[in-house]
Amino acid sequence: MDTATSGFLAPLLAPLLPWLYVESKWWTAFGLLGNAVFSSRFVIQWLYSEKKRVLVVPPIFWHLSFWGSVIALLYAFHIDKLPVILSFLFLPFLYARNLVLLRRGEGGGKG
């Protein structure tokens, strides 16, 4: 297993989080898992809406959004590509806020 120390954040973070920059097949699997979790939210939402015969955003949509974006962000830090990092950087915060609203009963899209 090789450790990458070149890139955008690796020179700063590698000394603190060396495991983040170790190349392995497990990182690829982790990235695919994040993609699968994040993408599955649309399938779940579609199936839920078909069952109800009306457009519904079930609570599980927000949970899948949050965890999928967290996994994808961690993987983005691993591959250390600024455009990918920026594309996922704020998503966990947005989805966490939706989960807070959902918990308070202000989510409106309960199914």
**Measured distance CA(102)–CA(99) in Å, rounded:** 5
- Model pLDDT for residues 88-98, shown as the tens digit of each residue: 999 999 999 99
Q: What is the dihedral of CA 77, 80, 82, 83, to 10 degrees?
A: -80
List 22's β-bridge partners, or say none.
Answer: 3
Report how far apart, in Å, the C-alpha atoms of 29 and of each of 25, 71, 87 are. 6, 11, 20
Residue 20: per-residue pLDDT? 85
Other Cβ atoms less than 10 A from the Cβ of 38: the count is: 20
pTM of the entire structure?
A: 0.80
Output the CA torsion sign for 51, 54, 58, 61. positive
pLDDT digits (tens, 9 = 90+) for 48-69: 999 999 999 999 999 999 999 9
Domains of the chain by residue range: 10-103
